[in-house]
């Protein structure tokens, strides 16, 4: 049953993310040394920089609808995180903290001292850690379908992770993308096991880490997400979000629960997500 469900959702992902990309001559690609990684990145557009961080089993290509939307008005730096896309793996676990340090090192290497940051799923948790560990690097943060505690994900979804095997992805868009882009295609089973370990590891970040983030935060999730809506509300509350005392003003932080939207559907609704994220990054905050 889990295998059928997994293949269904990853096939849906492939259809959702079918989108025309920027013309080749409009994209700058490269590699930067970051904490032992040869880290792949792409740069699109011009203007205020925004770093885009993909989800587990994904890559810069998977995030193309979001990248294209944001690049209409700003410079987008999209990266392939450890073991994903064109960035090879190294001999260390995949953790949110390590990946956040990698992103900070890449930003320094390519001369981006500070940026707005959009992260999705695993990338949202990386974005939170980037803001916690490297606060001066993050101007504003939009985190879609991310958690700061393991119980932010429904228990049934966490239990399902234990059953995942590399073979369950056979023929899926994720596996095909990996086999097309990865520098070492034989590492696919290694990536799957490392991501299982990441998902099964205790995630118990102190609430003060979230409340202490310096940057304003936009929290996004779907009402049919694997993320419990209560968890997204909790993060919003930790950020100081709540009722307006004068019925007029609002918090510098924002919350969006998208209707009729699953975990994968958050990126599938890229037009809506991009419009909200761009408005949040652009709004004047007193």
**pTM (two decimals):** 0.92
The predicted structure's pLDDT at residue 241: 87
Task: Indicate the DSSP class of residue 88.
Answer: P
Given a cut of 50, the residues of the chain with pLDDT beneath it are: 1-12, 14-20, 23-24
Q: Residue 127 region, left (φ>0) first, then alpha (ψ -120 to 50), else beta? A: alpha
Output the pLDDT for position 247.
53
Instruction: Determine the Cα angle at 128 with ends 72 and 266, to 5°.
Output: 50
Residue with tokens 């950020």: 239
The CATH architecture to which 2-282 belongs is 3-Layer(aba) Sandwich (3.40)
Going from N- to C-terminal start, the domains of the chain cover 2-282
Give the span between the Cα atoms of 263 and 273, in whole angstroms.
13
CA distance 285 to 98: 31
Q: Give the span between the Cα atoms of 7 and 36, in whole angstroms.
A: 34
CA 8/CA 83 separation, integer angstroms = 24
How many Å separate Cα 222 from the centre of its chain?
14
Instruction: Give me the pLDDT at residue 286, please.
Output: 67
Q: Are strands 75-79 and 37-44 parallel, antiparallel or unpaired?
A: antiparallel
Query: Residue 245: what pLDDT?
Result: 64
């Amino acid at each position: 049953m889990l295998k059928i469900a997994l293949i269904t959702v990853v096939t849906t992902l492939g259809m959702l993310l079918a989108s025309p990309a920027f013309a080749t001559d409009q994209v700058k690609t490269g590699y930067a040394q970051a904490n032992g990684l040869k880290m792949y990145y792409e740069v699109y557009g011009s203007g205020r920089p925004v770093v885009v961080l993909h989800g587990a089993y994904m890559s810069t290509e998977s995030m193309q609808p979001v990248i294209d939307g944001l690049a209409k008005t700003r410079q987008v730096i999209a990266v392939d995180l450890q073991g994903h896309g064109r960035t090879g793996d190294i001999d260390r676990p995949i953790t949110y903290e390590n990946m956040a340090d990698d992103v900070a090192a890449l930003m320094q290497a390519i001369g981006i001292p500070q940026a707005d940051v959009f992260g999705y799923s695993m990338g949202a948790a990386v974005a939170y850690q980037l803001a916690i560990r490297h606060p001066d690097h993050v101007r504003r943060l939009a985190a879609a379908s991310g958690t700061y505690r393991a119980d932010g994900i429904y228990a049934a979804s966490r239990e399902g992770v234990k059953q995942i095997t590399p073979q369950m992805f056979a023929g899926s868009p994720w596996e095909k993308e990996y086999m097309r882009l990865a520098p070492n295609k034989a590492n696919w089973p290694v990536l799957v096991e490392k991501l299982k370990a990441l998902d099964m590891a205790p995630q118990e970040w102190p609430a003060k880490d979230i409340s202490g983030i310096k940057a304003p935060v936009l929290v996004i999730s779907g009402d049919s997400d694997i993320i419990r809506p209560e968890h997204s509300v909790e993060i919003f509350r930790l950020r100081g979000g709540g009722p307006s005392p004068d019925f007029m003003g609002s918090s510098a932080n924002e919350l969006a629960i998208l209707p009729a939207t699953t975990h994968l559907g958050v990126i599938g609704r890229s037009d809506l997500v991009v419009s909200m994220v761009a408005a949040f990054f652009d709004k004047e905050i007193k």
